[in-house]
Amino acid sequence: MMFEKQTLHGAYFALAAYLFWGFVPIYFKLVDHVSPWEILCHRVLWSVILLIGILFYTGQLPALKVNASVVKKLFLTSALLSVNWLVFIYAIVNENIVETSLGYFINPLVSVLLGMIFLSERLRPMQWVAISIAGSGIAFQLIFYGAIPWIALTLGFSFGFYGLVRKNLNLPSVSGLALETLLILPFAILGLLWFSTSGNMDFGAVDRQTDVLLIMSGFITSFPLLCFAAAVTRLSLTAIGIFQYIAPSLSLVVAVVMYNEPFGLDRIITFTCIWIALVIFSMETLYYHRKLAMRGTANA
């Protein structure tokens, strides 16, 4: 009974996180008159303030003390996170939410591919099939447009590499993100100073709504992360994997229905390839883990 209650709470937290991430393009659309670089700087600044506040309130500030080798790796994760955030903001501001959705759909497959390349993980036959089908969808975009979908690939690979590096750091989500944003903070402050001295700063110069929205960027960043952290401690990674498709699905709906972004035959073909790949990947993963569980029960 206790386990079922914990699982149910985990599902609620996961649902809250991915629903929030799915609708987050609406927030960035509200500030699309601000430079993506300035939005990024504010996102870092206000995230640091909020996260440090949370760590102080919960008595977890000592978690910020890490050794030099961890800090070196955090510099890399901070850079990857910055790239991911900037490209995501740039895409939304420039009316390309559909491609951000594509990027996060391919992310699970990218993670599997990176695991094979850098962690010597062996891909099972059906995983190869899934990646091949997804690759065909990307190749179609290349042939159709004569250019690679760089936004989707940058988002997918930057977050994939981010997860790869963070995998072995064993840092809690809140303190880990606090450390990463602290490392970026000096650059964010320099960026805001440059915007201010050059007269290009929108914060404090447009209207009060813009100021409030930019300050809220810390909450926009931290709230879903806290929900996700709470979900991870209560659910299996397989269950979390199923929930993760909610966000890009919602973002796609938001893009097409709310902002009338084009979703023609070319994108339908690409997304269909990705969706087929994800169905194969998810079903194979569920079957594989169920098989392992049955084998473990039999051995016991």
pLDDT in tens, 141-182: 777 766 778 898 999 899 888 888 877 777 777 888 899 999
Predicted pLDDT of residue 297? 64
Q: Say if CB 201 and CB 195 are below 8 A apart.
A: yes
Query: Which of the pair, 229 or 42, is modelled with greater confidence?
Result: 42
Copy the structure tokens of residue 265: 């035959």
Query: Which of the pair, 167 or 13, is modelled with greater confidence?
Result: 13
What is the mean pLDDT of the segment spanning 212-235?
84
Tens of pLDDT, residues 58-102: 898 998 888 888 898 899 989 998 999 999 999 999 999 999 988
Distances (CA, A) of 270 to 109, 114, 149, 254: 15, 21, 11, 18
CB atoms within 10 A of CB 249: 15
Query: Which of the pair, 117 or 2, is modelled with greater confidence?
Result: 117
Predicted pLDDT of residue 12? 84
Express as a percent the part of the chain with pLDDT over 70: 91
pLDDT over 70 at 238, yes or no: no
Angle, nearest 10°, between helix axes 208-215 and 217-232? 30
Residue 264 makes CB contacts below 8 A (sequence gap 6+) with none
User: Which stretch of 101-110, 153-162, 187-196 has the lowest confidence by average pLDDT?
Assistant: 101-110
Query: Which of the pair, 243 or 247, is modelled with greater confidence?
Result: 247
Express as a percent the part of the chain with pLDDT over 90: 35
Local confidence band at 219 (pLDDT 50, 70, 90 cut-offs): very high
Angle, nearest 10°, between helix axes 68-93 and 97-118? 150
Residue 16 CA to residue 11 CA, distance in Å, equals: 9
| Secondary structure letter of residue 258 according to DSSP | I
Local confidence band at 214 (pLDDT 50, 70, 90 cut-offs): very high
Task: Find the largest Cα–Cα distance for the chain.
Answer: 70
Instruction: Say how many residues make up the chain.
Output: 300
Predicted pLDDT of residue 237? 56
pLDDT over 80 at 195, yes or no: yes
Predicted pLDDT of residue 44? 94
What is the mean pLDDT of the segment spanning 41-66?
91
Residue 124 CA to residue 278 CA, distance in Å, equals: 14
pLDDT over 90 at 27, yes or no: yes
Predicted pLDDT of residue 109? 80
Q: What is the mean pLDDT of the chain?
A: 85
What is the mean pLDDT of the segment spanning 195-223?
91
Predicted pLDDT of residue 239? 64
CA dihedral 283, 289, 290, 295 (to 10 degrees): 150
Local confidence band at 296 (pLDDT 50, 70, 90 cut-offs): low
Tens of pLDDT, residues 196-209: 999 899 998 888 99
